Chain A
Amino acid sequence: MSIEVKNLHKQFGSFTALDDISLNFPSGELVALLGPSGCGKTTLLRIIAGLEQADSGSVILEGDDASATHVRERQVGFVFQHYALFKHMTVFDNVAFGLRMKPRKSRPSEKVIAEKVHRLLELVQLDWLADRFPSQLSGGQRQRIALARALAVEPRVLLLDEPFGALDAKVRKELRRWLRKLHDELHITSIFVTHDQEEALEVADRVVMMDHGKVEQVGTPDEVYNQPETPFVYGFLGSVNLFHGRVDDGHLHIGDDVIHNQGENYDHGSEVYAFARPHELEIVTDNEQVNGLSAKVNRVLSFGLNSRVELDGINSAEGQHFEVELNPQRVDELSLTSGQIVKLVPSKLKLFHRDSINKDSHV
Chain B
Amino acid sequence: MSSVKSFSVLPGFGLSMGFTLVYLSLIILIPLSAVFIITSALTWTEFWAVVTAPRVVASYKLSFGASLGAAAINSVFGLMLAWVLVRYSFPGKKIVDALIDLPFALPTAVAGISLTALYAPNGWLGQFIQGSLGIKVAFAPLGVLVALVFIGLPFVVRTVQPVLQDLETELEEAASSLGANRWQTFRYVLMPILLPALMTGFALAFARAVGEYGSVIFIAGNIPMVSEITPLMIITKLEQYDYTGATAIAAVMLVVSFVMLLIINALQSWAGKRTGRNK
Contact = CB atoms under 8 A, between A and B. Distances in A.
Interface string A98-121: 100110000000000000000000
- Bin chain B's interface residue count: 20 to 34
A87 B190 CA distance: 11
B33 interface: no
A47 interface: no
Contact of B177 (A51, A82, A86, A135): A51
A78 B174 contact: yes
Given A84-B171, A88-B192, A101 B276 contact: no
B122 interface: no
B171 A72 contact: no
Contacts of A78: 173-174, 177
A86 B177 CA distance: 13
A160 interface: no
A133 interface: yes
B193 interface: yes
Contacts, number: 71
Given A88-B277, A133-B276, A135-B276, A101 B179 contact: yes
Contacts of B170: 80, 82, 84
Interface stretch (B53-61, B72-80, B181-189, B248-256): B181-189
Nearest to A77: B177
Contacts of A82: 168, 170
Interface string A74-99: 00111010101011111000000110
A84 B179 contact: no
Interface in A60-83: 70-72, 76-78, 80, 82
A149 B193 contact: no
Interface in B176-221: 176-181, 184, 188-189, 192-193
Contact of B173 (A51, A90, A136): A51
Interface in B134-170: 168, 170
A309 interface: no
B236 interface: no
Nearest to B178: A98
A70 B188 CA distance: 20
A150 interface: yes
Nearest to B193: A88
A70 B177 CA distance: 9
B50 interface: no
Contacts of A72: 176-177, 179-181
B223 to A, nearest CB: 47
Contacts of B20: none
A190 to B, nearest CB: 15
A97 B192 contact: no
Contacts of B275: 87-89, 133
Given A86-B189, A87-B193, A101-B188, A150 B171 contact: no
Given A84-B171, A89-B275, A101 B180 contact: yes
Interface of B: 168, 170-171, 173-181, 184, 188-189, 192-193, 275-277
16 contacts: A49-B177, A72-B177, A72-B180, A76-B177, A80-B170, A84-B170, A87-B275, A89-B192, A89-B275, A98-B178, A101-B175, A133-B275, A149-B174, A149-B178, A152-B178, A153-B178
Interface of A: 49-51, 70-72, 76-78, 80, 82, 84, 86-90, 97-98, 101-102, 133, 135-136, 149-150, 152-153
CB-CB nearest 6 A-B residue pairs: A133-B276, A88-B275, A98-B178, A84-B170, A101-B180, A84-B174
